[in-house]
Structure 1
Amino acid sequence: MTSHQTTQTMKPATAAKKLGVYLEATPAEFQEGVVSRTELNALQTDPPQWLQELRLNGPHPRPVVAAKLGVSIAGLARGGVTDALTTEQIDALKQDNPEWLQKERATQAEVRKEAVRIKEKNAQSAEEPKDKRS
């Protein structure tokens, strides 16, 4: 019996997500085809001009927008941001610093602080002896 190695492919949406770009802003040939694992690796290691431009100026998908603003994706939605934004629009939002953005950044900071507290508590619990009856 011989084994046949098939090329692993993915939908353009999956590839765009892995590349951190907004699918609708990619070239038509990217959107309409399938992307092999080899092609994805090539795009990541040696990005073409269109990919470099998208990563630099956008429009950016919501996870990237959220990260650049320091909020969660849900926080974006609560702030009314449901579409992809360009780097220029993100910078303008940072400059304007609306009340919703301040609130969501504070919320995100609390979430991070709580995550650190829980991690430290779990690490401390792991160090304690399992059986205290000795």
Structure 2
Amino acid sequence: MSQTMKPATAASKLGILLGAAPEEFRTTPITRAELDALREDPPQWLVDLRRNGPFPRDVVAAKLGVSKSGLARARMTEPLDADQVGALLADPPEWLVRERETHREVVTEQERLREQRDR
């Protein structure tokens, strides 16, 4: 018998928002083989979700170049779609400029510490 995962876990691994997926996906456990098949040959609904959203918080954070904590500090709690992310990037509000700089500083410091540790 194949090991299965909850739909929420599969959605996370695929980088999609579970609530935006088709009902059959949301309500049916997924095997590892089925997950691999979705990755290798994604159906149109998955292609569309990955391209247009709505996106889960971790994907929104990555697209905006901030941390999930940065989104929380900005009170950005709702999923965003591609148009909303694009609008924020085209005309970044002050919180986004600040959070992007903070995120860059944290990543730079993490890289410095990693290099120091690996010496």
Q: Find the aligned partners of 1:30 and 1:113 in 2 and give their Cα distance.
A: 39
Alignment partner of 1:31 out of 4, 13, 26: 26
Q: Which moves more between the two structures, 83-92 or 114-123?
A: 114-123
SS in 2 for 1:60: coil
Alignment partner of 2:40 out of 35, 41, 45: 45
1:98-134 Cα offsets, whole Å, 9 max, x none, are: 010011000001001101111121123xxxxxxxxxx
Q: CA deviation at 1:79?
A: 1.0
- Are positions 1:89 and 2:80 aligned together? no
Match in the other structure for 1:122? 117
Q: Find the aligned partners of 2:4 and 2:45 in 1 and give their Cα distance.
A: 21
Structure of larger gyration radius? 1
Q: Find the aligned partners of 1:121 and 1:24 in 2 and give their Cα distance.
A: 42
Amino acid at match of 1:116: E
Match in the other structure for 1:66? 61
- Are positions 1:106 and 2:93 aligned together? no
1:27-57 Cα offsets, whole Å, 9 max, x none, are: 0010011111111000000000000000000
Q: TM-score by structure 1 length?
A: 0.87
Q: Find the aligned partners of 1:41 and 1:113 in 2 and give their Cα distance.
A: 34
Q: Find the aligned partners of 2:10 and 2:49 in 1 and give their Cα distance.
A: 14
1:54-105 Cα offsets, whole Å, 9 max, x none, are: 0000000000000000000010011111011001000001112001001100
Match in the other structure for 2:17? 22
Q: TM-score by structure 2 length?
A: 0.97
In the alignment, structure 2 segments of 5+ residues that lack a partner are: none
